[in-house]
Structure formats: structure tokens, C-alpha cells
Structure 1
Amino acid sequence: MSGAAVPPAGVPRLPRLVATDLDGTLVRSDGTVSAYTREVLLELDRRDVPVVFVTGRPLRWAADVFEHVGAHGLAIISNGALVWDVTGDRAVLERPIEPQLGLEVCAALRTAVPGTSYAVETMRGIELEPDFMERYQVPDAARRAPVEELFDGPALKLLARHEELAPQEFWDVAEEVTGGRLVITWSSSTTLLEISGPQVTKASTLELLCAERGIAADEVIAFGDMPNDLPMLGWAGTSYAMADAHPTVTEVADHVAPGHDDDGVARVLAGVFDL
């Protein structure tokens, strides 16, 4: 197999599970998964090494790349709020935000930062406040209403957007206001906070998934590029930041992989597993 990389000295034994972010990590800038990356993932699947997609994407976007997860067919969606059985086309674990807590946080953050607008992700899809300026195409059927009406049941993710503050500034204020009641992160180049339920991160859900399969943290190799990947990279026994990752991610990861447009994840895996 062409394009293989030499495995780093820091990988003492073959991992039993691969956990990878999608955007900016496995998926190229044009939204595709290359033929080479697909070949590597399928070979790992044949070797009985599960590749779990761990993404901030909602289910409707993650489904675009489900064909690449192989027969193992597992994905962690919405920053850990949902584990999806791709083969069975069903949810196997949901870790949502309860409405009362979500609305308390919404009110507190909007008081601290006027101009904050919200959207919620549920199993139905995205629902948005009228002033929420989504950068991606919104389904025609998506409901628009005040957050007090949108949050009428458990939500997989709460999105908070501001059109004037910088992402880090907005995050810092939100962290102070919420006091750890919910988990706040971001993975966008715009000022968009992704808010999850208590203690819900990519890492905590990945840990639950691995525990069910008798896989320890030091048997996991993980890849990511943005702040929402930090808990996962800190938990996994072997971690890689992409070459073009956010600086905070590079600081935490054990190694640096080639960029996502250079098939960095696949090239590292080909070297680690001697494909």
C-alpha cells in the first residue's frame, strides 16, 4: 500500500481501536474522504480493528461519511451526545441536555453577553432562533422560534452564536457564566459555541464505548484538530494533532500527523499497522 508512514517510537503496541475526528482531520477540505484513506480504513476493519468516527457533526451531516466506517459501524455524534450504530441505523446511547438546565444556561449567557442567539440539535434535526445566522444550509422544515419554545425536550447539543465577539472571548465568558453545569467547546472558525450535557465530551463517551468492549485507554489511538478534540486526545493512550491543528491541540497531543488534505490519519495508521 503506497503512502505508508513509519510508526513513531511512542507507539509501544498495536492499538485495538482507532478514534478519529472528521472535519479538519479525516475529511479533506472539499468534504471528501480520499480513496487512499478509504482503503486504509477498510483494511483495518478487515483486521478487526474498529475505526470509530468521533465528531461534533450532528447526525444528518455525519451520515454523509458513514459508508467509510466499515462493518463495525459505530460513530460518536454531536461531541459525545449520541452513539450511533451505523449498521443497525439506530441510537445505542443518548446523553442529552435536559430542558430546564439548558434554558437556565441560555438565560444566564444571554444576560452576560447580549446579542447571543441559539439553536438546538435534537434527533429531529436543527431548530433555530430567528436571529441565529447558520453558515450551512438549513433544512426547509427547520423550525424557527425563541429558544424557550425550541427547548421543549432533551437536546443533543445547544449552539450559541455571537456575531461580534471572538471565539476564545465568547468561550471564556460562557465558561464563567455556566460554572461547569454544561460542557462548552468549539470547533468552528466563527464564533459558535457547542454546548453539551453535564460531563459529556468526546472523551467521556468514547471511554464508555471502549469500556463495553474491554478496551483500555492505552489501547486507543486518536486523531483531532480543534478544541472539542482536546478531552479525547488527552484520554487516549496515543494521540495525534493534525499538522494544521489549533495550537492548543498540538500542545496536548503526543504526536503531529500530516495535514488532513495530505491523508494524515491514513498515512499514520498505515505506518502504525504496517499496512
Structure 2
Amino acid sequence: MTTPRLVATDLDGTLVRSDGSVSDYTREVLLELDRRDVPVVFVTGRPLRWAAEVFEHVGSHGLAIVSNGALVWDVARERVDLERPIEPALGIEVCRAIRAAVPGTSYAVEGLDGIGLEPGYLERFPMPEGSRRAPVEELLDRPALKLLARHEELDAEEFWDLAEVATEGRLVITWSSTTALLEISAPDVTKASTLSLLCERLGISADEVVAFGDMPNDLPMLTWAGTSYAMADAHRTVTEIADHVAPGHDEDGVARVLAGVFGL
């Protein structure tokens, strides 16, 4: 294995422990890679407001890919580097198609300014104070970084399959939750496609990237990267396609692999 020039890692279930922390050991490994001028790019499904909780560990290169590739955020300058949103008309069209095929679907809309939720959308985590509540047609009054579709009766994979058929490839659908929560992105927007754009700008090829992940929304990135690791407790579809398996996220698996790869 050629020594990578860039590390791409998912956060939840991958780099971040179950209690939401980044261990001291992992922090030291990331700092050492930064000293060696090896960018560690966080590539997460988290919206900006949640990803910001771990931005202190991004390092001096200062870029993070959030919302499954919809946004590249310049951490150092606290501003948008690249935005790849869903256009409102297309978003509304697809939301209506999914709801017609799967009655009981409810939606939330993520944007740079926060999240809006339909009245029937049952959130699992505290939402920002003042978040809008309205039908999705009203929430989509501007381009959106990501749509969230939730169903309270189906399991995640069944919901995904039905929504994929209804969407007919017009938007990208994936999931990273243990509940029936789908994450919907603009056409061709995945963790992989945005990471590819970023690496092209940096003059880094896919073969020079090592990537880590644990859930189906990581599949495009792990397939694209020259070297890929599934976490020990990853979803079966991730373990099946990854080149290697890393120790679990509560065992600092990403950091331990990187320490070996870079001879730390």
C-alpha cells in the first residue's frame, strides 16, 4: 500500500465514539498527520451545526465535507467553500412522488440557516430553537442542502427500496441511521463525488486516498478511494465492499489504522 496523501473519514460510528467524544489518542494521531501535511478531511452526513462540534480536530488544512457532500465548509475562515444544493422544484416533485408511493412519509429540510420540519416529522434529537414547522412545499422555498424523509412503521432498508423506485434516480437517496430515516441529496451528490472534486483541486488522485466508514451513505466514498476500511461494527453492505476492516469506533479504530499506515 502506497502511503496515502489524504485521509477521508466519516464521523459517527467511525471516528467519533458512541458517547460523541473524540479520544485523546485519536486527537494526537490527527494532529501528527496535520504536522506531516497530510489532510484529514471529515466527510459526514451531519449538517453543519452538528459537524462544527468536532471542527477543532480538522487541522490546519481546514476543510470538511458535510451533509453527505452537499457542502464543503472552510473551517479556518468559517465560510462556504462549495455548495451543491437541491433545487426547490425538483425537491418538491420528488417528495410528492415518495409520499404517494409510501404514505406516512414526513420530511425535514436542511439548509445553511438550519432545519425546517413538517408538523408530522418526529425528530429523535433536539432541534435548534425556532426551527420552522410547515409542509415541505413551504419549507422548500429556497435551495436545500439535504432532505430528510422519515417513516415510523417501515425499517430503513425497506423504506430505502420503495423510495428509490419512486424517485427514479432524480435525486440521490442514502441512509446512515438505525431508524427509517432517508437522506436525500441533489443529483450526483454523494460523499464520493464531492471528495473527488476536492481532491482534484488539491492534485490528489483517488489512489492516494484512504477512507473510513460504517454505513450505506459511506459506500460511494469507500468504493472511490484507493484504500478503504469498514469499521468492525459497520453495516454489512459496507464490510462487503471495503478493502479492509478496522477496529470499532469505540476502540479508536481509525487512529490505530492510521498509526500503522503512517508509522506513527
Give the TM-score, by structure 1 length.
Answer: 0.96
Separation in structure 1 between the aligned mates of residue 248 and residue 101 of structure 2, nearest angstrom: 38
Structure 1 residue aligned with 2:123: 134
Letter in 2 for 1:148: E
Name which of 258, 262, 272 aligns with 2:261: 272
The runs of 5 or more residues in structure 1 that have no matched partner are: 1-10
Q: Residues 9-32 of structure 1: CA distance to partner in whole angstroms, max 9, x if unpaired?
A: xx2x11000000000000000000
TM-superposed CA distance for 1:207, in Å, is 0.1
Q: How far, CA to CA, are the matches of 2:125 and 2:164 in structure 1? A: 26
Q: SS of the counterpart of 1:175?
A: helix
Cα deviation code 1:101-133 (max 9, x no counterpart):
000001011011111000000011110000100
Q: 1:172-222 CA distances to partner (integer Å, 9 max, x unpaired)?
A: 011101111100000001100000000000000000000001100000000
Q: Which residue of 1 aligns with 2:213?
A: 224
SS of the residue 2:7 aligns to: strand
Q: Whole-Å Cα distance in 2 between the matches of residues 91 and 134 of structure 1?
A: 27
Instruction: Provide the rounded CA distance (Å) in 1 between the counterparts of 2:28 and 2:143.
Output: 38
The RMSD of aligned alpha carbons is 0.4
Specify the code of the residue in structure 1 equivalent to 2:186: G
Residue of structure 1 in register with 2:22 after alignment: 33
Give CA-to-partner distance per residue, 1:201-255, whole Å, 9 cap, x none. Answer: 0000000000001100000000000000000000000000000000000001000
Greater relative contact order, per chain length (Cα 8 Å cut-off, separation 6+): 1
Which one of 142, 154, 157 corresponds to residue 165 of structure 1? 154
What is the 5 A alignment of 1:4-43? 11=1, 13-43=2-32
1:238 is aligned to 2:227: yes
Give the Å deviation of 1:140.
Answer: 1.5
Between the two proteins, what is the percent identity of the paired residues?
A: 79
Cα distance in 2 for residues equivalent to 1:139 and 1:64:
14
Distance 1:274 1:38 in 2: 16
| Number of the residue aligned with 2:69 | 80
Counterpart residue number, 1:152? 141
Residue of structure 2 aligned with 1:197, choices 174, 181, 186: 186
- What is the Cα deviation at residue 45 of structure 1? 0.2
Secondary structure of the equivalent of 1:232?
helix
Aligned-partner residue type, residue 222 of structure 1 = A
Q: 2:81 aligns with which of 57, 70, 92?
A: 92
**Cα distance in 2, alignment partners of residues 181 and 147 from structure 1:** 17
- Alpha-carbon distance in 2 for matches of 1:64, 1:269: 22
SS of equivalent residue, structure 1 residue 149: helix
Structure 1 runs (4+) deviating above 6 angstroms are none
Please name the residue that 1:184 is paired with. Answer: 173
Matched residue type, 1:25: T
Letter in 2 for 1:156: L
Letter in 1 for 2:127: V
Counterpart residue type for residue 37 of structure 1: T
Is the counterpart of residue 111 in structure 1 residue 103 in structure 2?
A: no
Secondary structure (helix, strand or coil) at the match of 1:180 reads coil
Distance 2:168 2:205 in 1: 30
After TM superposition, give the deviation of residue 73 of structure 1 in Å: 1.0
Residue of structure 2 equivalent to 1:4: none
Count of residue correspondences: 264
2:242 aligned to 249, 253, 261, which one? Answer: 253
Give the aligned partner of residue 125 of structure 1: 114
Per the alignment, residue 49 of structure 1 pairs with 38
TM-superposed CA distance for 1:139, in Å, is 1.2
